[in-house]
Structure 1
Amino acid sequence: MADETTQIPAQQQDWPGTPSKLTPPADHGETSYTGRDRLTGKKALITGGDSGIGRATAIAFAKEGADVAITFLPEEQADAEETRRHVQSAGRTCVLLPADLRTEEAATDVATNAVKELGGLDVLVNNAGFQMSHQALEEFPGEQIERTFATNVFATFWLTKAIAPHMRPGSSILNTTSIQAFQPSEPLLDYAATKAALNNLTVNLATELGPRGIRVNAVAPGPIWTPLIPTTFPEEKVEGFGSDTPLGRPGQPIEVASAFVFLASDEASYVSGTVLGVTGGKAVF
């Protein structure tokens, strides 16, 4: 993992960004993560698996013995191929499913294809997200609000609806929320609202799906070093990113992926309806 004293320098990328241009490089667990057979035989769909938290989760799941399918936007094909390379190097299958999940039809197609290609599904990780910052309420475009909610909330709902009928008792659904749900910042008004909605949806789905033996939990990351940061904030806001946490640094994607591994594993067999914070010390309650 990155040196804890490393500070993030000013930088910027065009959206949607790529991990190959991050300075310093992000840690997705390519060499730092050691699997312990906690997900042997499981089959998982991870949205937004081309980079950041999604890539790290795919790599960690593979090293724990799971086969995975990942979604990504078509323009992120090269990054998705890199994720697949790391999953395959761990000896597991990685199915690539390019898709824009902002419609119910697209989400349903992804669910159908993931179940078909993997031969079933035990874990769904709703991780794909969109954010773009603005300094004043009047600057938020209407089309951005729609995109943020469609990507972060609607896609999660549609995928869960489509995949839950294929899941057996012991399966799990995991949502990526955020510290923004608890400590919202004004430049991320719409994004923060979607993450609060996902917290509510997680608890509600845990009640709905519990009788079927399906667990539903969420992970709330704090400031994590991914391409989302330099693509959605001005350079001066990127500099020193994460240094305001009690631990004094940003988190790495693999540090979030480790939480997803726990929640997807049988070790968490009695954990449902929980939001697990990975925030560097920022409060999640």
Structure 2
Amino acid sequence: MTNAILITGGSRGIGAATARLAAQRGYRVAVNYRQGARAAEALVREIEKLGGQALAVQADVGQGTDVERMFDGVASALGPLTALVNNAGTLEMQSRVDGLDAARLGRILTTNVVGSFLCAGAAVRQMSTRYGGRGGVIVNVSSRAAVLGSAGEYVDYAASKAAVDTLTVGLAREVAAEGIRVCGVRPGLIETEIHALGGEPGRVARLASGVPLGRGGQAEEVARAILWLISDEASYVTGTLLDVSGGR
């Protein structure tokens, strides 16, 4: 039986690139989305056309009942998960901290932090040998913003990703003896649609000169790092945060 992988926020950007690559490498792929049904279903058809097996599953990762329904449904359709990519995340219009309000902070933290925790917990309950599982890997998609702070743009997003880093390190230590590895990737300036959410679709081009490699990255470059962390080639890697940032 081939392995099953769930990618949250999998209908676009890094998530979609990871889904494509995972399917190419023989994974049965569950593509989670909250609102992008059309994009998720198109991605599933693309994977199936190339001979892979995929499933689109709607769920809001910040809602516990949605998360439980999603994990149960994926296990029923594809078999027990062996990998989770905690990729769902959001940001909002660029703003200083003194321009933020509680409603915005709640939205950011619910998706980026609460969602990551809820999905990680559900994955552990499926994968852990403590619960009769056969082990697996969780990869949390963080951001170099967690280190750099994103001053003047979205410190709230950066702080949420710093929380994801802490989740990665702490959870890795909790479940290491239960057959589960937990790692994180911290993408830098990557050419995806997320920059449009912040009000600056051309942000990568503006900042690319400050990247030691001299360019923005591609979603596929992050996907390759994620698939390496999931693979047996990374069997002695856990609690690790891998920067995919061109040196920035």
TM-score by length of 2: 0.92
User: Which segment is superposed worse, 183-192 or 171-180?
Assistant: 183-192
Are 1:219 and 2:179 an aligned pair?
no
2:21–2:223 CA contact under 8 A, matched in 1: yes
Quote the offset at 1:249 in angstroms: 1.0
Aligned length: 242
Once the two structures are superposed, the pairs formed by residues 89-238 of structure 1 within 5 Å of their partners are 89-167=49-127, 168-186=133-151, 187-234=153-200, 237=203
CA-to-aligned-CA distance 1:244-264 (integer Å, 9 cap, x gap)? 211111110000000011011
Q: 1:254 aligns with which of 213, 220, 232?
A: 220
Q: Which residue identity does 1:139 align to in structure 2?
A: G
Q: 1:60 aligns with which of 16, 21, 30?
A: 21
Identity between Structure 1 and Structure 2 (%): 38
Quote the offset at 1:42 in angstroms: 1.2
Q: Which has the higher contact order (CA 8 A, sep 6+)?
A: 1
Quote the offset at 1:239 in angstroms: 4.5
Structure 1 gap ranges (5+): 1-39
> Distance in 1 between the 2:200 and 2:244 partners?
24
Q: Which residue identity does 1:279 align to in structure 2?
A: S
Q: Secondary structure at the match of 2:191?
A: coil
User: Which segment is superposed worse, 179-188 or 161-170?
Assistant: 161-170
* More helix, by proportion: 2
CA-to-aligned-CA distance 1:102-136 (integer Å, 9 cap, x gap)? 21111111111111111110000000001113332
Q: Which residue identity does 1:146 align to in structure 2?
A: G
CA-to-aligned-CA distance 1:27-67 (integer Å, 9 cap, x gap)? xxxxxxxxxxxxx8110000011000000000000001101
Quote the offset at 1:237 in angstroms: 4.2
Q: Which residue identity does 1:62 align to in structure 2?
A: A
CA RMSD of aligned residues (A): 1.6
Q: 1:269 aligns with which of 221, 235, 242?
A: 235
